[in-house]
Structure formats: C-alpha cells, structure tokens
Chains A and B, each alone.
Chain A
Amino acid sequence: MTIYLPVGWTPARAAGKSKVGFSQCTTLEPWRVQFNKDIQAEAKNHPDIDLIITDGQDKTEKQVADCDNLIVQQVNVLLISPKESAGLTGVVEKGIDAKIPVIVLDRNVDTKRITQFIGGDNVAIGKAAGEHAVKLLGGPGKAAGNVVEIWGGMGTQPAHDRHDGFHAFTDKEKGIKYLLNNQSGDWKQDKAYDIMTTALRNNEKIDMVYGHNDPMAYGAYLAAKDAGRDKDIKFIIGIDGLPDEGVTWVSKGQLTATFLYATPGAEGLRQAAKLLKGEKLEPVITLPTMLITKENASEILKKNG
C-alpha cells in the first residue's frame, strides 16, 4: 500500500540551504508532470538548494495562495509557472516587493519587474510544424492535400500560437485544403478521437492530421486505426515530444513526427542557482524546439532511460 503514502511528505529541511520555491499551476497534464520531473532531476545536481514544489490544482486562487505561502516562508528565489497572466500578476509583484527575485516559466505575467522569463516559442514551433508539413505534402509550391487540424483549448494562447505559426507556412500553398473549422479537442486524447471519428465519416480523403499536442494527434491516429484507415492517412503530426508519449508513438510509427516543446523545469532551476551565486540573468530565455521523427526517436528514448 505504499502508493497511499502521503506524496507531499518530505524530511525536515536542513539548515543553511537556500530555499527555492516553485509554484506549478497543475499536475493533471502529462506535460506538467514531465515539467516537475525535470525540475526535480535538476535539483539533485544542486545539493545546496532546497526545492519546494506546490501544485495549484489548475485553479488561480489556489496558485495565488501557494505563492503567498512561499513568500511567507521567505524563499530565496520564487519560480512560478502561472495558470494565467492576469490572476497571478498581483502575487508575483507582492513577491518582488518582498525582495524575492521571481523567475517566470512557460507563461508570462503582466509585469516588467520580474527577473527572468523562460519559455518555449509556440509560434516558432507551429512554424516548424508547418514547414515540415509542407515538405511532407510535396514541397513548397507543389504541396497538396487535405489537412485536419485539431485545436487545443480554443481560449488558450498556446493553441492560437501553434495555429498561427503552422498557417504562416501552409497558407501559402494553394493545394492544401483544411477540412475542419476550428474544432477543439481541448488538449485531450478522447475528445480528439471523437472529432476524428466524425471527420473520417465526413471526408473520404484525409492526407494529414495536425494535432496541437501529441495526445490529440494520437487520439486521431486511434480513431483512424479503429476505422481501418490509419494506412491512408500518411502524416500525423503532434507537438510536445514527451518521452512517454509523443516520442514513443513516433518511434512506433504511429505518429509521423512531433516537435519538442521543452519544459523550462531544468533550465529554471539552473538559472535560479546562478542567481543565488550572485550572477546576473538575461531577461528572457527562449527554449529551442526539435523535430522528432522515427530516425531520432529511439535515440531520445534511450537518453531518457
């Protein structure tokens, strides 16, 4: 029954260590889980740092309370990956007023006073996906095919960035036709499965699926497989590139490609360590993406154990 041991329980904190607090907004998504794993793995390289992780449980008010709590504990550096900008700006400023440097990860807040922002560039990743899609469909100028795009949450910035970036490349091609009109899979495998089922029913020819994240692309693949049409749909592209998900599916040939959306976990802690040593930080760090195809997928899996 070890699974029911309290997960948040940690031994008494040693004296003399620097305290770094990290306020995570949710752990209900695989990407966020990987995020936490990355930051915890990096923390092992810094024995002088005591890392405290809180879970905002996907609620703004819970995350604000978490930050308040970390500020009261007088952490030396506050890392935060906000659920949304507006609601968390206030508490971030409160931290800064309390002379705590704040490093914001993944999504930014509405204040210029933060020490550093680290995140991926969703527009750039969308563009990379679009460029790859054009290449797979026949190359610039000649690309042709029917494309199904499954959106993440319609109200979220990453979905819009991934959409805009993709279309920056594919819209130039006259031969590419889009079959779906803003269909949101809400980042979820099951929703995407159902959308794809109907899309398959509605369209006899689908050449490519572009999912705003890997689980949705995989859901679309499963729907095509259950309909016996996974061989007809040549290209299924996702974004996130988590080892247990996208990379595994790409290595099995179920997805054609995925694009890494690296978590800022490890980099965030490294920067915090630098700051504690008294170094000055750049205001913005943009994490690079990477194309993952069948060729390099197994290599990445090996590296991640």
Chain B
Amino acid sequence: MKALFRLLSRTKLYWGLLLICLIGAVISPQTSSGHNIFLSYGNLTDVLRQVSITGLVATGMTMVILLGGIDLSVGSVMGFSTVICAMLLTKPGWTAASVIGVPAAILVGGATVALAARFVFAGLARGRDVSAGRRREISLTRWQSTGIPGLLGLVAAIAIGWWTMSQVPAKFGVLGALVIAPCLAMVLGGINGLLIVAGRLQPFIATLAMMVSALGISRLTAGSDNAVVPVYTGTNATEAFELLRSMLWGVLPVPSVFFLAAIGLFGAILRFTTFGRYAYAIGGNIEAAKLSGIKVAQVQLTAYLLSGLLAGIAGVLFVAQYRQGKPDAGTGLELDAIAAVVIGGTSLMGGRGGLAGTFVGVLIFGLLSDILQLQNIDSNVQLVMKGLIIVCTVLVQEQNLGQLVARWRFRRSGEAQADPRTAEPHRPPSAAKAQLAREDLDEAS
C-alpha cells in the first residue's frame, strides 16, 4: 500500500497530464460528423507546435534553474534572434553585417562545442568505467581532459566555419536563419554567463540587465522606423526556410521536432554526462561543489550559453511560423518558461528536478490553453484560470501525496501519529542528500 502511494506520489505529474487529457477529451466539442476535436491528430499536433517555442526556452531555463540561477533575458534574446533572422532574410545589405555574424558564430560555436565535448567526453569515459564493474573513478590525464575536447572543439569550429563560408552567399537567408541568429543569441547568453561567473553578479541582476538591454539592441538593429520586420515569401526566405513551419513527413510539425530533440538531447546530457552530474551538484550546494573541485564557473557559463542558444533557435522558429521578426516578440516569455519549469517540479532553489518534468509542465500549460480556447472561454477568464493552474499544480507538486493521504487516514482513525518523515530511519545528511538526488535523477529519466 505504502509502495503504491509512493509510486502514485512520484508519478503525480504524469497522472495530472493524463487527467487534463481526459477532461479535454470529455468536454471537447465535436465536429458535425461526430469526431472529437480535442483528440483529433491535427489538434494535438497544433498544441505541440504552439508549445515548441516556449518549450525550447523552458529547456534552457531548466538547466539554468537547476544550477540555482535564473535567466530573465530569454524573452528579449528571442526577440533579438527574430530581428536578426528576419533581417538576414529580407535585407540585402545584411550580407555585409554577416561579416561580423559569421566569425562570431564560429567563435561561439567552437567554444561551446569545446566546453560541451569536455563534459560529454569525461562523462562517457566514466560511464564506460562504471559499466565495466569497477567502482573506482578513473582520473583523466591532463591530455585526455583538455586535449581531446579542445581538439574536437577546434575541428568542429573549423568545420562550422568552412561550411558557413562555403554557403555564402548562395543560400544566405536560410543559413543566416539557422546559424547566425542562434549563435548571436548565444553570444548574449555568454555575456550573461560571464557577468555572473567573472563579474560575480547575481543571476537575477545580470539577466535583468540583459533583458532590458537586449530589447534596446534589437530595436537599434531593426532601425528606429521598424517596429516589425516582416518576412514575405519571395524574399530570401526560400523554400528551405518555409520547411521550418511545415509538417515533417506530414507527421510532426517541424518546430516540435526541435523541441523534442532539445528535450531528448539535454535530458540525456543531464542524465548521463559529467555536466549533468555537476549541474545537480552545483544546484544542490555550490560551496560543496567548489570544494570538491568541480569547475563551477565552466558549468555555469555553459548553462547560460545554452539558454541563449535555445532562445535563439526559438526566435528562428518564431520567424518561420509568424513571418515576422520583432524586438518585443518574446515579451513575457521568460515568465511562461519559468512557470512551465516550476510546474514540472524543478525547484527554484536549484539542484532538484529535470527536463522530463519540464516537458510535462510545458505540455500541461499548452493543453490547458488549447482546452480553454476550444471551449471558447473569454480571454480574461483564461488568464485567471492559467494563474489558478500554476498555483494548484505547484501546490500538488510540493506536497507529498502519500503524506497527505496518510495524514487524512490518521485523523480519521483518531490516532496521534508522528510525522512519517521523522519516523524514517535516521541517515547521515550527506547520504540522505545523495539519495534525494538519485531519486530526482530517476524521476527525470
């Protein structure tokens, strides 16, 4: 019985998602031929498409929040990316501007690949060691830990650079959209990271400053007489760019492919690589992480870089979907993303949670929006209901369902019992913490 409660409690987010789907299906309007609209394939893929932009941003946000930080700049950074992308697609003169864009893309791309490769390589090496049945962690030699990832990064940077140059200017529009805009967004993310790591600013302050200034940068970039940069077909927006809003093989909307891939990739990175382990460790206790020799600065910098990159990709998808770039495209997006992350069970204190939760959180938000919209509920009422949903979900998330039920049962039987938490066998704090982290990892997988 206890095990059942435990299971229920640990999977409650998924049950919540199922419940929402059930409610949606039951109250859904029908087409004239009697089909359930909510459950129709078109509607469900629409939801996936609609949540993709917020979802990508929330993916980056999850990693930042896991580290105990926060990134308020994602909305503005996405807006910046939409402007860059739209201008590369529409303004011929922008080929010149890319002289800055391409090297920046190479630099940042290379640096990030090097950083990431370092963690992935180290993580894989350790993984192999554990699977061989040896508990002892191998210590990487200096050459292994920096040389190989560095070399990989260099090769990758040269490859990206070579490919980028070879594409200029034939398919410049699409290239600009796919590479330069996200990479420049990543530069902004990198500035966030540097301010926090090297400037020792609080993440809230550093990213708040970026949130304000990125809006200004995008408005300057768009030019003072452009509140919107429209992207029409027939400009540089070639068919390849049109693909970004189509259905992949008629099955999945392309934006959602990006979202699912990001969740999959970064979920795996958090679960299986050193970067992931370090991220949880730093979020759990930054001092302890520093003392145990984790390169905190590097991990933090990577997280903010990735957050910027994902916001940048979201910006490109925004342009593809809505055919316009605008500085304020992402207004309020950071709050939506934080809400999805929190609904997904990631603690704002850091160290607990994961991308599986964020994925469900984003879906819950999107499905609810869809249900309310299908019910044709007044826009203002929708806002109130979304607020209520955030509060309710987090209330349920933060309570232990098993404990709630247990308390209720004890009250009914009139027995005064100790809190089940204190009744558990005493463990040394460090072991308890390790156990908690393990559980979170299991939950996240």
> Which A positions have Cβ atoms within 8 angstroms of B?
3-4, 7, 27-30, 32-33, 36-37, 151, 154, 179-184, 189-190, 193-195, 197-198, 201-202, 204, 215, 219, 222, 226, 244-245
Query: Are A226 and B376 in touch, CB under 8 angstroms?
Result: no
Q: Does B29 contact A (CB under 8 A)?
A: yes
Residue of B nearest to A205 (CB): B32
A residues in contact with B220, CB < 8 Å: 3-4, 7
Q: Does B75 contact A (CB under 8 A)?
A: no
Report the separation of the CA atoms of residues A30 and B224 in the bound assembly, to the nearest whole angstrom: 11
Query: Are B43 and A190 in touch, CB under 8 angstroms?
Result: no
For the A-B complex, the count of residue pairs with Cβ-Cβ distances under 8 Å equals 84
Residue of A3, A27, A181 with highest tally of chain B CB at under 10 A: A3
A residues in contact with B227, CB < 8 Å: 27-30, 32-33
Report the separation of the CA atoms of residues A237 and B43 in the bound assembly, to the nearest whole angstrom: 26
Q: How far is the CB of A251 from chain B (nearest CB, A)?
A: 12
Query: Are B324 and A27 in touch, CB under 8 angstroms?
Result: no
Report which of B224, B376, B379 forms a contact with A151, defined as CB distance below 8 A: B379
Q: A30-B227, A202-B29 known; A193 and B322 CB under 8 Å?
A: yes
Report which of A7, A190, A244 forms a contact with B224, defined as CB distance below 8 A: A7
Query: Are B328 and A28 in touch, CB under 8 angstroms?
Result: yes
Report the separation of the CA atoms of residues A222 and B221 in the bound assembly, to the nearest whole angstrom: 26
Query: Are A226 and B322 in touch, CB under 8 angstroms?
Result: no
Report which of B32, B37, B380 forms a contact with A201, defined as CB distance below 8 A: B37
Q: Does B223 contact A (CB under 8 A)?
A: yes
Residue of A nearest to B372 (CB): A198
Report which of A154, A189, A201, A215 forms a contact with B379, defined as CB distance below 8 A: A154
In chain B, positions 319-343 with a C-beta closer than 8 Å to chain A are 321-324, 326-329
B residues in contact with A202, CB < 8 Å: 29, 37, 374, 376
Query: Are A181 and B42 in touch, CB under 8 angstroms?
Result: no
Report the separation of the CA atoms of residues A226 and B324 in the bound assembly, to the nearest whole angstrom: 15
Residue of B nearest to A222 (CB): B323
Report the separation of the CA atoms of residues A33 and B225 in the bound assembly, to the nearest whole angstrom: 6
Q: How far is the CB of B366 from chain A (nearest CB, A)?
A: 10
Report the separation of the CA atoms of residues A179 and B227 in the bound assembly, to the nearest whole angstrom: 31
Report the separation of the CA atoms of residues A197 and B37 in the bound assembly, to the nearest whole angstrom: 12
Report the separation of the CA atoms of residues A226 and B37 in the bound assembly, to the nearest whole angstrom: 18
A residues in contact with B327, CB < 8 Å: 28
In chain B, positions 353-390 with a C-beta closer than 8 Å to chain A are 370, 373-374, 376-380
Report the separation of the CA atoms of residues A182 and B97 in the bound assembly, to the nearest whole angstrom: 44
Report which of B225, B245, B377, B379 forms a contact with A226, defined as CB distance below 8 A: B245
Query: Are B321 and A182 in touch, CB under 8 angstroms?
Result: no
Q: A27-B224, A33-B226, A195-B373 known; A219 and B322 CB under 8 Å?
A: yes
Can you pick out 27 interface pairs between chain A and chain B where the beta carbons lie within 8 Å of each other?
A: A3-B220, A4-B221, A27-B224, A28-B227, A28-B327, A33-B227, A37-B225, A154-B379, A154-B380, A180-B376, A182-B378, A182-B379, A182-B380, A190-B321, A190-B324, A190-B329, A193-B321, A197-B46, A197-B50, A198-B370, A198-B373, A201-B42, A201-B374, A202-B374, A202-B376, A204-B32, A244-B230
A residues in contact with B32, CB < 8 Å: 204
B residues in contact with A28, CB < 8 Å: 219, 227, 326-328
Q: Does B40 contact A (CB under 8 A)?
A: yes
A residues in contact with B380, CB < 8 Å: 154, 182, 184
Q: Does B413 contact A (CB under 8 A)?
A: no
For the A-B complex with A30-B228, A190-B324, A204-B32 known, give 7 more contacts whose Cβ atoms are closer than 8 Å. A27-B227, A28-B326, A33-B226, A189-B323, A198-B370, A202-B376, A222-B323
Query: Are B374 and A190 in touch, CB under 8 angstroms?
Result: no
B residues in contact with A37, CB < 8 Å: 225
Q: How far is the CB of A245 from chain B (nearest CB, A)?
A: 8
Report the separation of the CA atoms of residues A193 and B50 in the bound assembly, to the nearest whole angstrom: 10
Q: How far is the CB of A147 from chain B (nearest CB, A)?
A: 14
Report the separation of the CA atoms of residues A249 and B316 in the bound assembly, to the nearest whole angstrom: 23
3 shortest interchain CB distances as A-B pairs: A184-B379, A198-B373, A190-B322
B residues in contact with A30, CB < 8 Å: 227-228
